[in-house]
């Protein structure tokens, strides 16, 4: 987008000035000025040069500015260079030209999406154990991962979204225990989703029963063994149940706007033989060794040379531990092993129309080009950091530098506020309580969305008395999704989100609905006009109000926000951008008349600005998976 071009011009000006004034190689950096009245872009190079050459920063700035003023005339967007007495160089934008170009680009459909990079990226996210409904902690994972997928695609990467299903773990096995050995029905009661039924009524129940009757716990290992074997009546039954749970979970995922390209199954990774191959290689390379003494005697371990500790990877009974299932998956992703899988269409329609595939061990097609990515990103909560590090270390030992291509996007958990946890019937000592699926302490996404939707519905109905119920329903759904996604995305991933049910129901202030409202406001202007959005250099020059200029400038920074999001694997940069753009638009809206403007050329230019900025807002919302409506 055009702001980046302006930046480049400024960087070149500065670099040339440094060279011609004999300052030598200086790292040119430009950034946003601290506030208005300091131009549109600033550079502190003069401070650095002053230090190097022991001159006063103001003098350096003055010299450089006078050098650049002449050259600036040859640029497209740099209107002027102003030295500041503190030693900064401030550059101002030629707004007429800039507005004309920026708005023109966007109206022609150029929203800053980048050309293909050729980089193949896998993003693994969601990964909910198939034994319960998604709770709001899972939603944080999904929102982060799904938004990241969108952002990276916008940045030109070839991205596949992966969802890993742990269908051979104890959490899932416990559901089978409940169904098979506690005699619980394998149909959910009317009105209850199957995933919620399994999580809320079976899994928690089985956990309680384990405490009461120790014999039952043996059934868990029986189920695990049968599942691992992969054949027989119990295994077939488990397969059927996992499919039902997954289908219910995916409904929620899709409702949240996520979509996936591939489902990976833990059971298939185990059966694929990848681990045996990798294990063999690790043995011959001496990365793992058979411990002969101490408490790990009889186990294959990875020694940590720094701490002297060991991580067991194969138990003394010969079975592989959890990380040993993660290692082949990771190696498969970045192409350190051959692709043993075949692929089949999973057969359900996703919201964005993308085809969802599933791995199979036989009966599918080969060579779907999922494995062997340049970069693999795993969105997994911070508690798995240690294990992810071990995985990365093993990858490095298989292939020098491999861990640079295997990235863990960690994020902190979602906890429940004291008030919310207590309302669920739990006693809380501190300020908040960690969720626990086992204990039944969590807030399901579907439940939360239902509450949000009801609140949104009441508000929407109040404002639109003559609309149909279907319309109100659609809008309320969009508001509910936006509220939840924005809430989970806007906060720093390193910080725990303390979720408070009341607080989260807010539809005002810095929320998702603010974005929808702003978009609808903008579209309203375009609906109500007789004019046509159009712009040329002459009409662009008539837009001189600070609110107009701020809006144009902000709008042209979407690509910069997305780049930052991609660089730091942090899509909330886009959420922040969307919010800032919405603020800029509302400021414009309150202070600048569009349809009442008497000068038709200026009116049309403003219409063009409204059209363009609303398109950018919509695009930024799409990147973070927030739906928008022309009216709400």
126 closest CA partner among 149, 109, 147, 143: 143
- Within 365-424, the residues that bind RNA by CB under 7 A are 382-387, 412
- Yes or no: say if 238 and 226 are a contact pair by the CB < 8 Å rule: yes
Q: Kindly state whether residue 295 participates in binding RNA, applying the rule CB under 7 A.
A: yes
Nearer to RNA, 188 or 607 (CB): 607
What is residue 145's three-state secondary structure? helix
Decide: residue 168, CB within 10 A, 0-12 exposed, 13-18 middle, 19+ buried.
Answer: buried
CB of 22 to RNA, least distance (A): 20
Q: Which is it for strands 262-265 and 158-165: parallel, antiparallel or unpaired?
A: parallel
Nearer to RNA, 182 or 525 (CB): 525
Evaluate the CA torsion angle 97, 100, 101, 102 in order and state its sign. positive
Site string for RNA, 326-365 (x = CB under 7 A): ----------------------------------------
Nearer to RNA, 374 or 510 (CB): 510
Nearer to RNA, 30 or 179 (CB): 30
- Please choose, out of 105-113, 163-171, 233-241, 276-284, the segment that lies near RNA by the rule CB under 7 A: 163-171
DSSP string, 349-373: --TT-PPPEEEESSSSBS--S-SS-
According to CB under 7 A, which one of 369, 593, 599, 600 is a site residue for RNA? 593
Q: Which is it for strands 262-265 and 357-360: parallel, antiparallel or unpaired?
A: parallel
Q: Which residues contact 318 (CB under 8 A, 6 or more apart)?
A: none
CB of 191 to RNA, least distance (A): 26
User: Cα 37 from chain centroid?
Assistant: 35
CB of 417 to RNA, least distance (A): 9
CB of 592 to RNA, least distance (A): 5
- Within 179-208, the residues that bind RNA by CB under 7 A are none
Nearer to RNA, 53 or 593 (CB): 593
Site string for RNA, 40-59 (x = CB under 7 A): --x-x--xx--x--------
- Within 566-585, the residues that bind RNA by CB under 7 A are 568, 570, 573, 576, 583
Q: Return the H-helix or E-strand segment holding 323.
A: helix 322-333
CB of 503 to RNA, least distance (A): 7
Q: Which residues contact 111 (CB under 8 A, 6 or more apart)?
A: 558, 615, 616, 619
Nearer to RNA, 185 or 215 (CB): 215
Planar angle of CA 588, 456, 503, nearest 5 degrees: 85
- Within 474-533, the residues that bind RNA by CB under 7 A are 475, 479, 490-492, 494-498, 506-511, 513-514, 517, 520-521, 524-525, 528
The values of phi and psi at residue 504, to 5°, are: -75, -15
Nearer to RNA, 437 or 625 (CB): 437
What is residue 223's three-state secondary structure? helix
Nearer to RNA, 399 or 593 (CB): 593
- Yes or no: say if 154 and 623 are a contact pair by the CB < 8 Å rule: yes
Helices 445-463 and 233-255: crossing angle in degrees, nearest 10, is 30
Site string for RNA, 237-276 (x = CB under 7 A): -----------------------------x----------
Site string for RNA, 66-105 (x = CB under 7 A): ------------------x-x-x-x---------------
Q: Kindly state whether residue 234 participates in binding RNA, applying the rule CB under 7 A.
A: no
Site string for RNA, 604-623 (x = CB under 7 A): --------------------
423 closest CA partner among 449, 442, 451, 450: 442
Q: How many residues bind RNA (CB under 7 A)?
A: 92
According to CB under 7 A, which one of 109, 353, 363, 430 is a site residue for RNA? 430
State the Cα–Cα distance between residues 340 and 323, nearest whole angstrom: 19
State the Cα–Cα distance between residues 295 and 275, nearest whole angstrom: 24
Q: What single-letter DSSP state applies at residue 191? A: T
User: What's the half-sphere exposure (Cβ side, CA atoms, 13 Å) at 452?
Assistant: 31
Q: Kindly state whether residue 599 participates in binding RNA, applying the rule CB under 7 A.
A: no
- Within 13-32, the residues that bind RNA by CB under 7 A are 29, 31
According to CB under 7 A, which one of 73, 404, 463, 545 is a site residue for RNA? 463
According to CB under 7 A, which one of 28, 38, 283, 361 is a site residue for RNA? 38
According to CB under 7 A, which one of 315, 393, 438, 550 is a site residue for RNA? 315
Q: In what order do the strands lie in the sheet with 289-290?
A: 289-290, 300-303, 310-314
State the Cα–Cα distance between residues 127 and 54, nearest whole angstrom: 57
Nearer to RNA, 160 or 485 (CB): 485
CB of 189 to RNA, least distance (A): 28
- Please choose, out of 162-170, 253-261, 442-450, 613-621, the segment that lies near RNA by the rule CB under 7 A: 162-170
The values of phi and psi at residue 89, to 5°, are: -110, 125
Using H for helix, E for strand and C for coil, what is the string for 441-508?
Answer: ECCEHHHHHHHHHHHHHHHHHHHCCCCCHHHHHHHHHHHHHHHHHHHHHCCCCCCCEEECHHHHCCCC
First to last CA, the chain: 29
CB of 482 to RNA, least distance (A): 9
State the Cα–Cα distance between residues 145 and 116, nearest whole angstrom: 20
Nearer to RNA, 356 or 433 (CB): 433
Nearer to RNA, 116 or 495 (CB): 495
According to CB under 7 A, which one of 55, 92, 171, 344 is a site residue for RNA? 171
14 closest CA partner among 54, 96, 72: 72
CB of 188 to RNA, least distance (A): 23
Could you tell me the CA-to-CA distances from 514 to 86, 240, 486, 573 in Å, in that order?
Answer: 38, 43, 10, 17
Nearer to RNA, 307 or 468 (CB): 307
According to CB under 7 A, which one of 307, 362, 466, 468 is a site residue for RNA? 307
- Please choose, out of 140-148, 155-163, 240-248, 289-297, the segment that lies near RNA by the rule CB under 7 A: 289-297
- Please choose, out of 105-113, 229-237, 297-305, 442-450, the segment that lies near RNA by the rule CB under 7 A: 297-305
């Amino acid at each position: 987008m055009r702001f980046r071009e302006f930046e480049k011009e400024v960087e070149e000006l500065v670099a040339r000035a440094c060279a011609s004034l004999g300052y030598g190689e200086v790292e040119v950096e430009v950034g946003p000025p601290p506030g208005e009245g300091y131009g549109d872009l600033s550079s502190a190079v003069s401070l650095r040069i002053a230090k190097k050459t022991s001159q006063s920063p103001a003098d350096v700035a003055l010299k450089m500015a006078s050098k650049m003023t002449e050259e600036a005339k040859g640029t497209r967007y740099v209107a002027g260079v102003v030295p500041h007495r503190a030693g900064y160089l401030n550059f101002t934008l030629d707004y007429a030209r800039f507005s004309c170009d920026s708005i023109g680009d966007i109206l022609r459909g150029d929203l800053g999406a980048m050309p293909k990079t050729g980089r193949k990226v896998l993003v693994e996210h969601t990964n909910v154990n198939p034994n319960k409904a998604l709770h709001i902690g899972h939603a944080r994972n999904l929102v982060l991962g799904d938004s990241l997928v969108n952002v990276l695609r916008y940045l030109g990467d070839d991205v596949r979204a992966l969802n890993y299903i742990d269908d051979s773990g104890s959490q899932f096995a416990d559901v089978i225990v409940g169904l098979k050995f506690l005699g619980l029905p394998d149909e959910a009661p009317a009105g209850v989703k199957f995933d919620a039924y399994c999580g809320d009524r079976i899994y928690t129940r089985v956990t309680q029963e384990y405490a009461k009757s120790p014999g039952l716990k043996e059934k868990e290992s029986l189920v695990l063994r049968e599942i691992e074997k992969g054949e027989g009546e119990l295994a077939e039954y488990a397969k059927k149940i996992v499919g039902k749970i997954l289908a219910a979970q995916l409904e929620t995922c899709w409702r949240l706007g996520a979509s996936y390209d591939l489902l990976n199954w833990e059971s298939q990774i185990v059966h694929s033989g990848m681990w045996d191959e990798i294990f063999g290689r690790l043995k011959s390379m001496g990365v793992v060794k058979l411990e002969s003494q101490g408490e790990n005697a009889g186990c294959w371990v990875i020694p940590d040379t720094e701490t002297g500790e060991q991580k067991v990877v194969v138990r003394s009974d010969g079975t592989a531990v959890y990380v040993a299932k993660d290692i082949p998956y990771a190696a498969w992703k970045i192409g350190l092993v051959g692709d043993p899988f075949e692929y089949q269409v999973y057969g359900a329609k996703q919201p964005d129309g993308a085809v969802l595939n599933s791995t199979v061990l036989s009966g599918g097609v080969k060579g779907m080009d999922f494995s062997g990515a340049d970069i693999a990103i795993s969105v997994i909560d911070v508690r798995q950091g240690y294990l992810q590090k071990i995985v990365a270390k093993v990858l490095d030992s298989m292939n020098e530098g491999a861990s640079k291509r295997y990235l863990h996007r960690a994020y902190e958990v979602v906890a429940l506020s004291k008030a919310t946890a207590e309302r669920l019937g739990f006693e809380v000592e501190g300020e908040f309580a960690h969720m626990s699926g086992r204990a039944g302490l969590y807030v399901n996404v579907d439940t939360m969305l239902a509450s949000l939707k009801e609140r949104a519905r009441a508000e929407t109905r109040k404002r639109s008395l003559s609309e149909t119920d279907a319309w109100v329903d659609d809008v309320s759904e969009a508001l509910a999704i936006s509220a939840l996604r924005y809430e989970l995305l806007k906060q720093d991933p390193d910080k725990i989100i303390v979720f408070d049910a009341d607080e989260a129901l807010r539809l005002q202030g810095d929320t998702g609905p603010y974005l929808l409202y702003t978009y609808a406001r903008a579209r309203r202007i375009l609906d109500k006009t007789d004019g046509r959005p159009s712009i040329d250099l002459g009409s662009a020059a008539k837009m001189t109000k600070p609110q107009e200029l701020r809006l144009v400038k902000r709008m042209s920074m979407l690509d910069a926000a997305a780049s930052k999001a991609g660089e730091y694997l942090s899509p909330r940069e886009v959420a922040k951008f969307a919010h800032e753009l919405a603020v800029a638009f509302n400021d414009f809206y309150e202070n600048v008349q569009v349809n009442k403007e008497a000068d038709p050329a200026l009116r049309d230019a403003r219409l063009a600005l409204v059209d363009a900025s609303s398109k950018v807002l919509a695009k930024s919302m799409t990147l973070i998976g927030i739906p928008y409506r022309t009216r709400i």
